[in-house]
Structure 1
Amino acid sequence: MTALALPDAVLPDAPGPIQTLIAVTQRLATVIMAENDHLRSRKRPADARPMIEEKGRLAAAYAREMEVMRKNGGVRAFGNANELRILKRETSLFQTALDDHRKLLERARAITEGIIKAVGDEVTRQNQSAMGYGKNAAPPRQRSAQPTSLTLNQVV
């Protein structure tokens, strides 16, 4: 998978801090939406590795840009009303993509935990010794549990 192209320039001027933040926000939202589509299509998680790596780089760039602006008077000190309006719109789209991403990850985690619990319960059930009495009404001797083999089918 190749890296996704940056969106067309939103503002024609040389990129300043606001324009850079807008571009990073757009790109980060695009990568997160692509990852969301990947999660919805139930493709192999390993295939999303390039998106995850790019998301990490973009998140670090986003944090750096926000920190620069915070230390220097906030976003209002760097942009005009039009730029701030564009940033607000892009940030809203970004937040929507993040909320969707969180929901997808929570759902995947719940499914995974359910599968792991079901496998553990089945292994426990198979390893339980029969309860009751043995010869001459004596409790049965405890035998050490035999290892339970577990086979998982893997699609490559």
Structure 2
Amino acid sequence: MQPKPETRTPPRVADKAGAEALVGHVLGAMQALEAVLEAESGHVRGGRLREGLAGSEGKAALAATYMQGLEVVKANAVALARFAPQGVEALKSAHRRFTVAVETNQAVLATARTVSEGLIKTLAEEIGRSRGPTVYGKPSYAPSPYGRGAQSGPLVLSRNL
């Protein structure tokens, strides 16, 4: 018999102070995560990948805190609307700004990944081209049991550059 997974019920908001504290907690996590994403995007845009990706653990912890906060907000939506309607509106507007920051960060990371893949592909093609002997200006390959063009060796990449 397998043990039953532990399910925790999110804390319930019972008064105005609890609602405001929950809104403040989620807003704080969202703002901290937004700042980390903006810093990461700035570093990656500037070509400082190592600095940009250095805060991955902190980003993951902030994202987990934010997601847990959202779950508590969802579970207490009625109580928040009753006790802190201004807080709900603040969460909505902050979430719209946060969504833009996340989309921008994802676009920057996707662009960096595409550029990196293009550089590696071009480098591999150049290395493969330079290894083949030429006869009368055209590449010449010896017959290979693995098909044509199987003459290139492995690509070695130094991460220290």
Normalization by structure 1: what TM-score?
0.69
CA distance in 2, matches of 1:106, 1:146: 29
Q: Which amino acid aligns with 1:121?
A: E
CA distance in 1, matches of 2:92, 2:102: 15
In structure 1, stretches of 5+ residues that fail to align are 1-12, 133-139
* Equivalent position to 2:64, from 55, 60, 82: 60
Q: Is the Cα contact below 8 Å between 1:127 and 1:148 reproduced in 2?
A: no
Q: Which amino acid aligns with 2:37?
A: I
Q: Which amino acid aligns with 2:35?
A: T
Backbone CA RMSD of aligned residues: 3.2
Which residues in structure 2 correspond to 1:68-83 (within 5 Å)?
68-70=72-74, 72-74=75-77, 76-79=78-81, 80-83=84-87
Matched, 1:20 2:52: no
Total equivalences in the alignment: 134
Alpha-carbon spacing, 1:61–1:153, altered in 2? closer, same or farther (3 Å): closer
In structure 2, stretches of 5+ residues that fail to align are 1-16, 145-149
Alpha-carbon spacing, 1:151–1:113, altered in 2? closer, same or farther (3 Å): closer
CA distance in 2, matches of 1:77, 1:92: 22
Q: Is the Cα contact below 8 Å between 1:36 and 1:101 reproduced in 2?
A: yes
* Equivalent position to 2:102, from 98, 103, 106: 98
Q: Give the % identical residues.
A: 22
Normalization by structure 2: what TM-score?
0.67
**Secondary structure class of the residue paired with 1:65:** helix
